[in-house]
Amino acid sequence: MPGAKMAIKRGNSNMGIRRNNGGGGSWMSIVVLVLFLVLAPVGFFVGRRVYSAASVDQDVSKQNVDWRARLALMHVQSLFSKKVIDVIKANTDDLGPLSFDSFRKNNLSASWKFSGQEDVGPTEIEETNKKRTPTEKEEKLFDDSHPQSVDTPAKLARRQLREKRRETRAADLVKKDDDIIIKLENAAIERSKSVDSAVLGKYSIWRKENDNDNTDTTVRLVRDQIIMARVYKSIAMMKNNTKLARELQNQIKESHRALGDAAADADLNRSVPERIKIMGQVLSKAKNEVYDCKLVTGKLRAMLQSADEQVRSLKKQSTFLSQLAAKTIPNGIHCLSMRLTIDYYLLPPEKRKFPRSENLENPNLYHYALFSDNVLAASVVVNSTIINAKEPEKHVFHLVSDKLNFGAMNMWFLLNPPGKSTIHVENVDEFKWLNSSYCPVLRQLESSAMKEYYFKSDHQTTLSAGSSNLKYRNPKYLSMLNHLRFYLPQVYPKLNKILFLDDDIVVQKDLTGLWRVDLKGNVNGAVETCGESFHRFDKYLNFSNPNIARNFDPNACGWAYGMNVFDLDVWKKKDITGIYHRWQNMNEDRVLWKLGTLPPGLMTFYGLTQPLDKSWHVLGLGYNPSIDKNDIDKAAVIHYNGNMKPWLELAMTRYRSYWIKYIKFDHPYIRGCKLGQ
């Protein structure tokens, strides 16, 4: 009702609300009217809030009234949509001093009067506000920017409860963040474990096993500075800043000189901290002069790719050299063999015979088969077996060597007889039945195609080019000593059971219990080597060939040569040697497996192998650095399978003591050939 005097009076109620004609009343009365007409319950709710606001003394400061108006407007906006607010605004635009804009521009204070009070004009209110000075209590209650009502104990309790909930939520969020960080760190650790640490060394700082007393933090810092100096030097040369490039080059040389061959902080020179400080100053200067994010990123990426290529190349060379070292004979062992051979052939024939030859075919004794061309290794096997045997007199050792080492092997055991045990040495080249017409592998080894396969990488132009085929060119694959294990009944026709031992093993317990193991009609008793996904048949055999796929399970468990119990009677009934010949003939072109004796052994004894308890035979001491010491100590036989044989310089130090304790270092031949520890 524009331009007219409006009053809203109570009927029988004790409350009345009126507004002055001069426009001193608040626009809130219109809002209350709309609330009563449109939405009575909601209007009643808002009205109570307005009533509560009006209950404050009308002498409250101008800022207080303004705050309450804004509060009421906020509640109205939360109750109505934008369209309804626009309609209300449109209907009040022509109210002059009652309009929204007029209220905002003039910041007029509303005057609310209840029954029992006289009408008060805006002029009187303004004068009263000017005269009135807020009390100290009111100054505390009303902040200039955020005025608020008096806090009651209930409000304080609710506020404290809200604060506690906020703190709890914040703590939960922080804990979740910490959990996420821990998960990311653990994921980084797991990813770092997949890196070949043998090549990359301390690849990741997250690796807990890299934590040690002899840290390399400073070493890595110097190396990082050198890397960044190279990056900035390259960028400086691109930008023709030759002075900075020369300065960086000089600092790189000095850092390399200070670092030297140090791999840990304890190995560093005392001048390194000062060198780090000087390099840091030069790098800071370079960053200010030539830093470019894209160029730095590109240079680091190029350096990473180059380093990756170098790592691959070095890994190939490392493989080549380790294979080369594995197939060589140390000078000391070669010296021992030569001296023993010479002295053996100087002996008269009657002194070349071993005692107790009648035990060689006695089936009631414990017979061992050992095929070796390494005198020192064979002596460790025999010594360790006899020392740990409960009844040494019942043990018989059948040694077979080649013609080059036959004299040395005889001479060693003539000079060092195995106590009450029986020993006999034979020459594989004297087995006339072992010829190319009978033995397929011997025929294949003598062929020109096989020789080409073995030695085709002799003419490679680089050191690492032939590393992939080097392992197949190990002399053991060319020696019939390695394949003689498939002819045990032919070598020992009078025996019914025999224990086969490799020459890279050490016996730690009495082995007679193996002769009492029930093989359950099988030919071979061996320890299985498979885990969840490795050392199974698909690792050794070519399952893309139908002959393999038809006859074998790719997930069948592999087993280990090195300590095997063979029932020679069942062997003969099953014609195991004939099965071996059949598969060997089919592999003429190496389409079923590459080379070696384990793949054909897995095929020949497939379904005929009885698993033994793992404590009988622990493997991996020639390649695995993380074998549990308790497993080694409990094992009856430990096996140095792999390239790191205990008689080589590249042997693992932590395992070597198990082997060398069975060597007689005070022996004149050992001392003469300088085979010391």
The 3-state DSSP class for residue 264 equals coil
Mean pLDDT score of the chain: 77
Q: Which of 129-143, 206-220, 356-370, 437-451 has the lowest mean pLDDT?
A: 129-143
Would the pLDDT of 607 be above 90?
Answer: yes
Is 173 exposed, middle or buried, given 0-12, 13-18 or 19+ CB atoms closer than 10 A?
exposed
Residue scoring higher pLDDT (104 or 265): 265
**How far is Cα 336 from Cα 333, in angstroms, rounded to an integer?**
5
Q: Which residues of 501-539 are buried (b: 16+ CB within 10 A; e: fewer)?
A: bbbbbbbbbbbeebeeeebeebbbbbbbbeeeeebbbbe
pLDDT tens digits for range 127-147? 444 444 444 444 444 444 444
How many percent of the chain have pLDDT more than 70?
A: 66
Residue range 235-250: mean pLDDT, rounded: 91
User: Sorting pLDDT into bands at 50, 70 and 90, what band is 589?
Assistant: confident
For the chain, how big is the Rg over CA atoms in Å? 47
| C-alpha distances out from residue 183 to 169, 176, 190, 192, 209, Å | 21, 10, 11, 14, 18
Would the pLDDT of 21 be above 80?
Answer: no
pLDDT computed for residue 146 by the predictor: 45
pLDDT tens digits for range 35-72? 555 454 444 444 444 444 444 444 444 445 455 566 66
Chain-centre distance for alpha carbon 236: 38
pLDDT tens digits for range 67-104? 556 666 665 565 556 665 665 555 554 445 444 454 44
pLDDT computed for residue 441 by the predictor: 84
User: Sorting pLDDT into bands at 50, 70 and 90, what band is 29?
Assistant: low
pLDDT computed for residue 42 by the predictor: 44
Residue range 594-612: mean pLDDT, rounded: 91
Residue scoring higher pLDDT (206 or 243): 243
pLDDT computed for residue 455 by the predictor: 60
**SS3 readout for 106-150:** HCCCCCCCCCCCCCCCHHHHHHHHHHCCCCHHHHHHECCCCECCC
Lookup: tokens for 422: 């029986």
pLDDT computed for residue 447 by the predictor: 73
Backbone angles phi, psi at 210, to 5 degrees: -80, -10
Lookup: tokens for 476: 């053991």
pLDDT computed for residue 269 by the predictor: 82
| C-alpha distances out from residue 95 to 1, 21, 101, 102, 407, Å | 8, 12, 10, 9, 128
pLDDT computed for residue 312 by the predictor: 83
Would the pLDDT of 586 be above 60?
Answer: yes
pLDDT computed for residue 563 by the predictor: 95
Residues 6+ apart with CB under 8 A from 231: 296, 299, 300, 303
Q: Which of 212-226, 318-332, 441-455 has the highest mean pLDDT?
A: 212-226
pLDDT tens digits for range 343-394? 999 999 999 999 999 999 999 999 999 999 999 999 999 999 999 999 999 9
Would the pLDDT of 464 be above 50?
Answer: no
**How far is Cα 642 from Cα 655, in angstroms, rounded to an integer?**
13
CA-based nearest residue to 309, from 194, 464, 470, 467: 464
Q: Which of 137-146, 370-379, 424-433, 453-462 has the lowest mean pLDDT?
A: 137-146
DSSP class of 10: -
pLDDT computed for residue 315 by the predictor: 79
User: Sorting pLDDT into bands at 50, 70 and 90, what band is 282?
Assistant: very high
User: Sorting pLDDT into bands at 50, 70 and 90, what band is 410?
Assistant: very high
Alpha helices in 194-292 (DSSP H): 197-200, 217-238, 242-259, 272-290
Would the pLDDT of 653 be above 80?
Answer: yes
Backbone angles phi, psi at 399, to 5 degrees: -100, 140
Lookup: tokens for 667: 């022996």
Would the pLDDT of 482 be above 80?
Answer: yes
Would the pLDDT of 627 be above 80?
Answer: yes
CB neighbours (10 Å) of residue 42?
15
pLDDT tens digits for range 175-201? 666 667 677 667 766 655 554 444 433
Would the pLDDT of 459 be above 70?
Answer: no
pLDDT computed for residue 202 by the predictor: 38
pLDDT computed for residue 322 by the predictor: 72
User: Sorting pLDDT into bands at 50, 70 and 90, what band is 426?
Assistant: very high
Q: Which residues pair with 8 in a beta bridge?
A: 17
pLDDT computed for residue 553 by the predictor: 92
